[in-house]
Structure 1
Amino acid sequence: MTFSRTIKLHIEYDGTSFNGWQNQAKGRGVTVQGAVEKALSQLCKEKIKVAGSSRTDAGVHAFDQVATFKTKSTLPLQAFQKGLNTFLVPEVRVRKAEEMDASFHALRNAKGKIYSYYVLSGKTSSPIAKNHVYFFPYTLNFSAMKKAAKQLVGKHDFSSFRSSRSTAKTSVRTIHSFQVKVVKDSLFMPKENTEGTLYCFTVKANGFLHNQVRTMVGTLLDVGREKIKPEDIKKIISAKKRSAAGKCLPGHALYLIKTLYA
């Protein structure tokens, strides 16, 4: 019998220079999955394939992308964290490594995910935050956006927020919570800076459709600009048409915060 181990990695990365998580056709840019597989193959001295918990798009960042892989390596568990980081590019780091049961799979065993999207509202954009925050040069109605976000909570058919490229068999998802907060002190909005407002949109669900989070936030910005009312969210959901919802915002301000398991 061939000896094999199942290793689970918790990975953080800055997605700015990557063409997403998932491997692409040759010549279509560097991916995070490709960088991790290359480093693992060097470390384990065998060809390694990893499975990720989320297929983040180009420019999207992650604090907790979970990945699993099989290996014949007898290296100690800590080597898959400390050792692997010596082979990885600085934009990618393994935060934790765990040994799992052979049946565990990063994607199939995931029970949910938490994403956050950051929007800087103001008159002037931030050069420091340009790859990590979406600049929106308009004043926003904070109260209206919070009310609208609550309309998205629950089990719904989210066809109106689904990309035409989505291959999911169903558009039904359950959103457990959707919070809109003002960030008063951070790297991208120091408390000394009184110009502009940094908003954080955080959503927890059992799963997401392609572009769903970015399109939901784009729709909430329409509410914030008072182009539509909070009550219109229910009509948008019922329409089940992509044209009914707002703009799909860029990926560079989206963060995979955590992958949830039972």
Structure 2
Amino acid sequence: MPRSTTYLDTQLTVQAGVPLRVAVYDRIADGIKSGKLALGEPLPGEGELSRQLGVSRTVAREALLLLEEDGLVRNRRGVGRFVTSRLPQIGLERIQSPEAFLSVASSVRFVRTKMEIELASAWVREGLNLREGDNSWIWESIVSDGDRHIGVTQEHVPVGSRLADVDEALADAIDAVPANGHSLLRVIMESLPERLGPAVAQVSASRIGSTRAAILGVKRDDPGLVITQRVDYKGRPLYLGKHVLLAEAAQIAVMQS
């Protein structure tokens, strides 16, 4: 008998002022973190869960969605919801490369599809504090975990003298990087002698879209996680990256310093 059958089969006691969905969330989250609900264990469906806890189906659904967002529950289409197989860890407390915050994937690899100098777009100019007409490096890569594509990345840094002014060794390192293996941010972090920062990261949900869907072998309307990073070095904008990942590829909390 699954542990969830006994642990969840008890009416909720809700403190005054606590929304029901939060109380349901807390009951399940506490069970997962305490081990009363085993990692990987199947959870009751929305109807059964609402009956067990004495709440409406809508409340149960909202709580489960919150648990999914926080990485404690996984939803397998057509199968049901399960306790995560690995407890989430807060990521990006420090500036991290995509390889680092995708460490839940066992063998992340970046396959470069584009590495060239081009006219900086308005988004890149704003992010790197460039002037209209300036160029920038653009690195585009497919992110793979084993033989499965899980995302695409687009990374930018200044070019020419603007990059050399930041660090000549870094400019040389970027020119020498092979096509496969690492993200641009990882190359930067391994090349510079001093710590990067400050940095800003933004996380949003989106749809994969037609172009990325063709690359990743998914549907264009499939959900994706978009992580945008801007990193400064010695008081100057140095790096701008956008990483679009399949929604199930990572659960990430972002607090950069």
Question: What is the TM-score with the length of structure 1 in the denominator?
Answer: 0.24
**Greater RCO (CA < 8 Å, at least 6 residues apart):** 1
Question: What is the TM-score with the length of structure 2 in the denominator?
Answer: 0.24
Pick the structure with greater CA Rg.
Answer: 2
